[in-house]
Amino acid sequence: MLLWWWGGMSSLFGKKEIEKILPHREPILLVDEVIEQGDDYIIAKKYINEDDPVLKGHFPDYPIYPGVYIIEGLAQSAGLLLLRSFEEDSIPLFLGIDEARFKKEVRPTCELIYEVKVVDKKGMVAIVDGKAKVDGQLVAKAKLLVGVKKADDSLQGSKSEAGNV
């Protein structure tokens, strides 16, 4: 899963390709590039820039990248992983979060690495294990429930099915 660590951090694809897959756009598109991707995992990156608008208010004198943005970045990375096997008019859904923990602050000028691995999958719904790292150190982790929906369709599987993934 960590082949990018040994061979350098060249990206598989960047923001333009990501925008062809995800419906998110600035300022809430929180994945800048995909470094590595396999059948059941993805490794992506977000550059935390000093001029990021969220840092102007969180917090002006001591900017910290918000934990909820880190979790959303993990969910978007999971969406990139899941959407590759669905039609173009599909959208990712963030259905739930468990066991979220924040271990270290994420400050401006960091490269935030998202590592997401599918733990279980049923139909269009999956449980993923997400880890966010800076300089190889864990800064946040969570288990996420994510799904994929065709535009204008209902999510396949009932709520009870989603809970049993």
Distance of CA 112 to the CA centre of its chain: 11
d(CA 132, CA 25): 21
58 part of the active site: yes
Catalytic residue of the set 15, 58, 143, 149: 58
Active site residues: 58
